[in-house]
Structure 1
Amino acid sequence: MRGTRTGTAPDLLSHALMVLVWFRKGEDTALLATGFGVSWATAYQYLTEGLTVLTAQTTDLHIVLNRAATELNLPTLADSGYENAGQGVKTPIKQLSDGSRLARDNRCYNQLLRG
């Protein structure tokens, strides 16, 4: 497998466990090193290698989010540059050309889209 070191199964298992603990608990690298009985530099190296392997095997985040949104029938929130982008793409309602204020519902809708 590209990006992985060769070693014994227990070594690889401890490397994988270290990465999982780091993801789950957000532990400091020095604390992880102590817990796994390795130096700080080795722990940092194991984390870097583990993240490299995971990154190489993951699908592009954009693709995953689009797939999830489609399967769950979720709308896509976008800025006004994406007006008329298609079904399911929600963009802010533009200000009226006569300068009058948008209705309260439309202002709330815009505020929700803009965060």
Structure 2
Amino acid sequence: MPTSVTYTAVLDVRRSTAEHLSRLLRDHRAAVGTRGGRRALGCFRQAVLILRWFLDGTRLAQLARDNGLSSSTAYRYLHEGLTVLAAGAPDLNTALERAKAAGLTHLNLDGTVVRTDRVAAPGPNGADLWWSGKHRHHGGNVQVISTPDGWPIWVSPVRPGREHDTTCARHHGRLDALNNLAAEPGVPTLVDLGYENAGDGLRHPVKKPASGELTEAQHTYNKVIRGVHGVCERANSLLKTTFKALRRVSLDPSRITQIAAAALVLLQLEYDRTI
């Protein structure tokens, strides 16, 4: 008596996206000198495996079984896909140059915590490095820059979930780059109060003083900033709702850097939009 059921499923992704990833994998195999007929899967089937993991969050054990692979081979195929996709993600300077060339009025910056269930690691003062006190779970902090209509144009390398948004944004001169963009072409970046005092180029609501009240003008300013900046939540939502892999990562947390960058590339391919 059969112990399993075979069925046909449709992957909700454009074929051109799968074919693009397949070409990237083909070029990667050529670059590393892989000989023909030495792989268990062809480039297109490997691309489908990777896209199933991204879009549906399919477990690697299931992907391995569906394709007649060992678990180690399935992981290797996935990591190859992450590598070739993430390599196509724009760096910060490229993203800001595109924004400037497009004549955008402003940018949005916001952080999102990508949940992870990997083992905790000790941090400063014995604190759990990847534990987010705000979200009450382990995760990695990824900074996302988006356009005025909430389209993501850049994602940062991951930082431990315990770090504050401002601390994460300061790494590798990101805040300096955003402040320079506001100073020269006049393109400010809207943020929330989590980035308070991060620089003149970052515009955030006015914080209520410890002993006093906000003026009417400050209340109005805050409403405008929050209203315009609120659309940035769309960027984080687009990434996490499109790709189930970003809702909870079971790989090493450091892999979130590649996963987020690869997801951005796939999103841009699907919508044929970079800015």
Closer/same/farther in 2, CA of residues 7 and 71 from structure 1, 3 Å limit: farther
Mapped pair 1:14 → 2:45? yes
Identify which range, 7-16 or 17-26, moves more after superposition: 7-16
Aligned to 1:93: 206
User: How large is the RMSD of aligned CA atoms in angstroms?
Assistant: 3.8
Bigger CA radius of gyration: 1
Give runs of aligned pairs for residues 1-115 of structure 1, distance below 5 A. Answer: 1-2=27-28, 6-8=34-36, 11-60=42-91, 63-64=94-95, 67=98, 73=105, 74=148, 76-78=190-192, 79-85=195-201, 89-95=202-208, 99-103=211-215, 106=219, 109=222, 112=226
Indicate the structure with greater helix content.
1
Paired-residue identity, %:
30
- What amino acid does structure 2 have at the position aligned with 1:82? A
Indicate the structure with greater strand content.
2
5+ residue gaps, structure 1: none
Larger relative contact order (CA 8 Å, sep ≥ 6): 2
- What amino acid does structure 2 have at the position aligned with 1:81? N
- Cα deviation, 1:59-105, whole Å, max 9, x if unaligned, reads 126754884696664252152213531xxx421214459x3212587
5+ residue gaps, structure 2: 1-26, 106-147, 149-188, 230-275
Q: Decide whether the 8 Å contact of 1:82 with 1:91 is kept in 2.
A: no
TM-score of the pair, normalised by structure 1: 0.65
Give me the whole-angstrom Cα distance separating, in 2, the residues matched to 1:35 and 1:64: 38
The alignment of Structure 1 onto Structure 2 pairs a total of residues equal to 109
- What amino acid does structure 1 have at the position aligned with 2:198? Y
Closer/same/farther in 2, CA of residues 93 and 33 from structure 1, 3 Å limit: same
Closer/same/farther in 2, CA of residues 50 and 82 from structure 1, 3 Å limit: same
Where do 4+ consecutive residues of structure 1 move more than 2 Å?
1-10, 60-73, 94-97, 103-107
Give me the whole-angstrom Cα distance separating, in 2, the residues matched to 1:29 and 1:77: 37
Q: Decide whether the 8 Å contact of 1:29 with 1:44 is kept in 2.
A: yes
Give me the whole-angstrom Cα distance separating, in 2, the residues matched to 1:65 and 1:40: 40
- What amino acid does structure 2 have at the position aligned with 1:101? E
